[in-house]
Amino acid sequence: MKPCWICNLGLMPYDQALELQTRLAFLRYKKAIDDILLLLEHPPTVTLGKFGKIENVLVTEDELINRGISLCTSNRGGDVTFHCPGQLVVYPIMDMRSREGNLRRFLSELEEVVIKVTVAFGVPGERWSEHPGIWVEGRQIAAIGLHFVRGVSMHGISLNVNPDLEAFRVINLCGIAGKEATSIAKMAKKDVNIEQAVELVRESFPTVFEVQLEDISREQVLGDVIG
């Protein structure tokens, strides 16, 4: 199996994570590093993707500020998303040139990783043919948005583990009016924490992507790798 680093970054502002991904993607393109899987949470943040429409943000920018929510633009695909603590974000920085450049398969594999995680909690996550991401009983439990630069993937998938679901009402989820967010904790009707979800991602990701995970610390990534 090919090696893939894995790093749990903890809580990181969205703009900092975007800058980190950009630098890592360049290093991966140069073959200076192996593929790397970033696991993290973001503070409350609304992001607008390349096709994002500001009208899908349902409150004013002043109201976002009052609620302690940042507003960021992003180069990922898709419309508008919401991030907050309690949501596990999975960013694979992977070289598609060594994976036959199959982008559709890559998206499907990311979804499969999350489905394996939700099912492990007794929550039957499923795909919706009309829209990427993972859904449960018509509610979104995971959003997906990708970007590829020089054949290297950026961004990824965000899984609602135990976030404050009321906070998601500041947007039309992925630009779809009337859709609601849900979480593993709500659907499983039990306490679930990020650490449990992280361990399940660690189990499912290497099986789906056929890689060997190798731990690397936050300090190593922010210091030795990109320093």
Query: What is the C-alpha end-to-end distance of the chain, expressed in Å?
Result: 28
Instruction: Provide the 3-class DSSP secondary structure of residue 5.
Output: strand
174 is catalytic: yes
DSSP H helical ranges for 57-193: 61-66, 103-120, 184-188
CB 72 within 8 A of CB 47: yes
Contacts (Cβ under 8 Å, ≥6 apart) of 70: 13, 14, 15, 43, 44, 45, 46, 64
Half-sphere exposure of 1 (CA within 13 A, CB side): 14
Q: Which residues contact 163 (CB under 8 A, 6 or more apart)?
A: 84, 85, 86, 87, 181, 183
Question: Rounded distance, CA 88 to CA 70, Å?
Answer: 18
Alpha-carbon 151 to chain mean position = 19
Which residue numbers are catalytic?
Answer: 174
